């Protein structure tokens, strides 16, 4: 998986948001604690800092969805983050992103916070961000 592969998948997955460039992915991959899991069709980029893991982004191309690929990538990140010393995992998701929220709930995350009007939605009202958390001591 090259930074260009990641940027291409991210652009397809986040059709209505600003895509991350290959340079941005390259810079992130060079940072300490950053972990890449999955495949070019469905990947997760996360980071471990001391005992906390965070999901930076997660994307599956539209024509590879509902095949369990994101769940598999998330499980791989869970296992690698745990081996790197993380005890909890956090992520942030738009409150109007039903597919992602369904995935995270299915993977054991619970909502622990909310940032009001966090994601701009053009002419529509901004969407809240949900903060979700999972205890990594529990099995996947």
Instruction: Report, as residue numbers or ranges, the catalytic residues.
Output: 92, 104
104-132: burial string, b at 16+ Cβ within 10 Å, e else: beebbbeeeeeeeeebeeeeeeebebbeb
> Based on CB atoms, which residue is closest to ligand COA, 99 or 125?
99
> Based on CB atoms, which residue is closest to ligand COA, 23 or 105?
105
Cα separation values, 42 from 89, 92, 126, 128, Å:
19, 18, 27, 25
> Based on CB atoms, which residue is closest to ligand COA, 36 or 59?
59
Query: What is the smallest separation between the CB atom of 41 and ligand COA, expressed in angstroms?
Result: 8
- Which stretches of the chain bind ligand COA, using CB under 6 A? 13-14, 42, 58-60, 65-71, 93, 97, 99-100, 102-103, 106
DSSP-based three-state secondary structure for 131: strand
Query: What is the smallest separation between the CB atom of 6 and ligand COA, expressed in angstroms?
Result: 13
> Pairing between strand 88-94 and 52-60?
parallel
Query: Which one, of 54, 58, 45, lies nearest residue 17 by Cα?
Result: 58
Query: What is the smallest separation between the CB atom of 56 and ligand COA, expressed in angstroms?
Result: 10
């Amino acid at each position: 998986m090259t930074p260009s592969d990641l940027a291409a998948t991210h652009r397809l997955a986040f059709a209505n948001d600003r895509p991350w460039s290959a340079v941005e992915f390259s810079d992130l991959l060079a940072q300490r604690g950053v972990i890449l899991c999955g495949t070019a069709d469905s990947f997760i980029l996360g980071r471990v800092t001391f005992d906390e893991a965070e999901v930076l982004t997660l994307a599956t191309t539209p024509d590879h969805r509902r095949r369990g690929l994101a769940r598999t990538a998330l499980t791989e990140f869970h296992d690698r983050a745990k081996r790197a010393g993380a005890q909890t995992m956090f992520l942030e998701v738009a409150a109007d992103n039903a597919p992602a929220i369904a995935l995270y709930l299915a993977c054991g995350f619970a909502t622990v916070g909310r940032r009001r009007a966090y994601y701009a939605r053009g002419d529509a009202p901004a969407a809240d961000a949900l903060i979700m958390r999972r205890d990594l001591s529990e099995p996947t």
